[in-house]
Amino acid sequence: MVTQRALSTVHVRAPGKINVFLKVGAVMDDGYHDVATAYQAVSLYENVRATISDDFSVSFSGSIDCSGLEVDGTNLAIRAARMLARKAGYRGGVHLDVEKNVPIAGGMGGGSADAAATLVACDTLWGTDLGRDELLGLASRLGADVPFALTGGTAIGTGRGDQLSPALAKGSFQWVLVLADFGSSTPEVYRELDRHRDRHAQDIFPAQTQPTVDTAVLQALRSGDSLVLADALYNDLQAPALHLNPALTGILELGEANGALAGIVSGSGPTVAFLAENLDAALELQIALSAARHRVVRVTGPVHGARVIGD
C-alpha cells in the first residue's frame, strides 16, 4: 500500500560494520559460505538523500574517491530502490544522492549500508510503510550484510551472515581504523581461503562443520571489557587477505606496537581495525598511525542501524 506523503527529500544515515569475529564453514548450495559472525556497527556512516523522481538514478559524493562506482542498474542502492518499488507497487522513481565515507571494497559493508539506507529512505519518501520485517526480507535478498546495516548495534549473523540475532553489548568500544588506498574483492578472498583449505584438506576438518561464534566473544561483548574482547577477536578471512595483500601485515604490527590491544582485518579487508583500551589510548594510536602516513579514522561502536535523520 502506498500512502500520500508531502515529503520531497528524505535523509537516511547507515553505519559501516566491523566483524569482531568471523568463522567460515563450507560452501552451501547457493554458492555462499556458511558463516558465523559477530557484527558491530560503528560510527562511520553513509548518508543517502532520496528525492522523488520519474526514474531511478544515483550520484556520489563524500570523503572517498567514488569515480569507479557504477551508476546504472547494477548499483546496489538502485537495485534496492527498484526492489522496494516492485514490492510495494510504487510507479514512480527516485534520485539517490549518496555521501560515501565507508571505504569502497574495504570489508566494512559500505555498499550494504547504501542499500539499507535506500530501503528506509524510499519507504519513508514514498509512504510505502512496509514495516521492519518486510524491509529485512528485501535486505536479505540484496546481500548478506544488508540486514545488519538495517538493524545496526551488535548482532550474531549465521547462514550467509544475514540470519541475525541480537547480541547484548555493554558500553562502548573504541576503534581506530586504517583505511587502505586500494580495495579488496570479497569473492577473491574467499577463493583464496578455499584454495588454502584444498591444499591442507587433512588439517581443516572443523571448517566443514557448522561454524559458531565462540562464547568468549559473547561474554566480552556483554561485559563491555575491551581487554577481554581483544583476546577474542578472530577472522578466518584474515590469513587469505594478508596473503593477497602482504602490506597489511606491517600495518597490524605497527598498530599493536603503538598501543592497540589487538588488530584485526575487517571482513575480507583491506581495512584494518584496531581495538583501543579507552578514548585516550585511541587518540594516541590515531596520532601514531597518522604520523606513519596512513589514512586513519577513529570510531566507536555499537551504533544504531539505518535511520531517518533531519538535515
Catalytic residues: 17, 145
Integer Cα distance of 244 and 300 in angstroms: 28
d(CA 149, CA 295): 24
Q: What is the 3-state secondary structure (H, E, C) of 109-149?
A: CHHHHHHHHHHHHHHHHHCCCCCHHHHHHHHHHHCCCHHHH
* Cβ-based burial of 181 (10 A; exposed 0-12, middle 13-18, buried ≥19): exposed
- The cell for 76 is 546496489
CA gap 191, 211 in Å, rounded:
18
The three cell numbers of residue 148 are 545488519
